[in-house]
Chains A and B, each alone.
Chain A
Amino acid sequence: MNADWTNGPDQLSEADEQRRGAARRFRDAQVPLIKLWTYYYGLGGDADELSLDAYLNEALHLPAAQVGLITTAMTELTAAEDE
């Protein structure tokens, strides 16, 4: 899933930065991984729970579309928790 989607070092470091931010938000939100994965799956996400775990531990890159859905899932979930 994390094959040749990058176009050079600039985009890679940008993806790293984005991933670091997602990892931080995940830790701060204190949402169980399974809850986030289920929500992300409900949005149409394709990555399995293990890949999501690896992504949030900054051990794996995911395609931009999946990253977008993870971000959306995190935003909607934390908004729901705050209500």
Chain B
Amino acid sequence: MTAEEGHSDDRDRGAAEKATLSLESLVLESPDIKAFMVELAIVAASRLSRPGNTIHSGVTVLRHRKPQAMAASDAAAMALDELQNGFGEGPCLTALRQGTTVLVPDLTAETRWGPYVRAAIAHGVSSILAVPLDLSGEADAVLNLYSGRSNGFASEGIATAETFARQAATSLRLILRISQLSEARSDLSAAMQSRTVIDMAVGAIMAQNRCDRDTAFSILTRASSTRNIKLREVAATVITSISGEQWITAHFDE
């Protein structure tokens, strides 16, 4: 990405590069995915809006096979996303399921998704553009764009939206990966704490009962399942009853 590449007849790419840079910083600055999605919706709306044609933008994510409105540039877009998810059908959900861009240039001429289209018109929407975000199997998401004007999305507007969605998807894949890793890391750290307490209790039971490790484990497991208490909590009780210690923590470098 050198300075010479910023060619004058390559304006689209220049703009695209700028968008990539700002999206990547969003990934770094967002405390979580939801915040990232909100920022994404706001940036998408402001980049595609033109004087006299304000674009509202929302992101719907498929979670456990159910569509969920996750973020939006404003309350109006959020309401429209939720409306569509409530009906269970609409252009954005079709885009989400098919993985292809869906354009509705004029809602009044649209014959599909009857109930939703009528409700959207009542909300003042005239055209809709839905662009799926390809997250390569990590999740399914769609960027929903609403305009109050019919033909609110010109062909270059559609191309811009698709380029934007592609770049956003790349950033989203990264943020999903990061959040998966940080979840795995905190799971592992919890496992270290739990294992320390359980190993200690197993040792104590072995000493008290003069039994082997497997037997000590089965004593603990049986106590846990008959009382319906977590194994770790039973182990903590064993330690407390012997030494009076309440908090056992594992020491390791984070």
Contact = CB atoms under 8 A, between A and B. Distances in A.
Contacts of B225: 72, 75
Contacts of A72: 221, 224-225, 231
Contacts, number: 47
Q: How large is the interface on A (under 10, 10 to 19, 20 to 34, 35 or more residues)?
A: 10 to 19
A42 B224 contact: no
Contacts of B191: 38-39, 41-42
B91 to A, nearest CB: 29
B119 interface: no
A76 B234 CA distance: 13
B188 A68 contact: no
B217 A69 contact: yes
A43 B231 contact: yes
Contacts of B135: none
Contacts of A43: 194-195, 198, 231-232
Given A34-B184, A68-B217, A72-B224, A41 B231 contact: no
A9 interface: no
Interface in A49-83: 63-65, 68-69, 72, 75-76
Interface residues of B, number: 22
A73 B178 CA distance: 25
Interface string B215-235: 001100100110000111000
A34 B183 CA distance: 11
B190 A42 contact: yes
Given A65-B218, A76-B230, A44 B224 contact: no
B39 interface: no
A63 B214 CA distance: 10
Given A41-B195, A44-B217, A68-B221, 17 more contacts: A35-B184, A38-B184, A38-B191, A41-B191, A42-B190, A42-B193, A42-B232, A43-B231, A43-B232, A44-B202, A63-B214, A65-B214, A68-B217, A69-B221, A72-B224, A75-B225, A76-B231
Interface of A: 34-35, 38-39, 41-44, 63-65, 68-69, 72, 75-76
